[in-house]
Amino acid sequence: MNHKFDTSNLVAPLQELNFFHKDHTLINTDITAIQAYQIMTQQSSVLLNIAFKIRDDLSYRLNRVKPIKGFGASMGEIPKLNQKLDFFDVVKISDQELFLQSTDKHLSVLVAIQIEQYQPNQNILKITTSVITYNFFGKIYMLPVSVAHGIIVRNMLKKLN
């Protein structure tokens, strides 16, 4: 396993980020990055759905931010570069990597899912989330997100085991 820190999976240089989170889990070798995303985002918890609803309502009322409605886009086909996947733009996609970005006037977020060989029968899936905020609303928006994000990601990763 490579322990060198890779900055190519960040939305901005590390010192400029307003939020940064990394996590990982071991997975079967036959799971691709897009399959992992599908498994992690299918059937969101009631709590996560409520959080998305609150986010959408408050963000729209306070600053006319477009609702994202959470996860759950039905995927008939594997998305291509620059297509939408849920509320993200696909900015990089292969069997081993899926980079998803969402940018508006308040913030930019990049979620990088990367798979590396770990053992002959196991891979390691790494998920990195980085955010840069552009204004006061972006900073306020990130306050509850920064508290809940790690718990949400950990619960999503559990679906892969």
- Note the pTM of the prediction, 2 decimals: 0.86
Between CA 139 and CA 41 the distance in angstroms is 25
pLDDT, one tens digit per residue, over 91-138 is 999 999 999 999 988 999 999 999 999 999 999 999 999 999 999 988
Between CA 64 and CA 62 the distance in angstroms is 6
Give 26's contacts (C-beta < 8 A, 6+ positions apart): 118, 122, 123, 124, 125, 161
Architecture of domain 17-158: 2-Layer Sandwich (3.30)
pLDDT, one tens digit per residue, over 40-49 is 988 777 777 7
- Better-predicted residue by pLDDT, 86 or 124: 124
pLDDT, one tens digit per residue, over 49-74 is 777 777 777 777 776 767 666 677 65
pLDDT band at 154 (very low <50, low <70, confident <90, very high): very high
Which pair of structure tokens corresponds to residue 142? 């990130």
Report, as an integer, the average pLDDT of 9-34.
95
Chain-centre distance of CA 107, in angstroms? 14
Give 44's contacts (C-beta < 8 A, 6+ positions apart): 52, 70, 71, 72
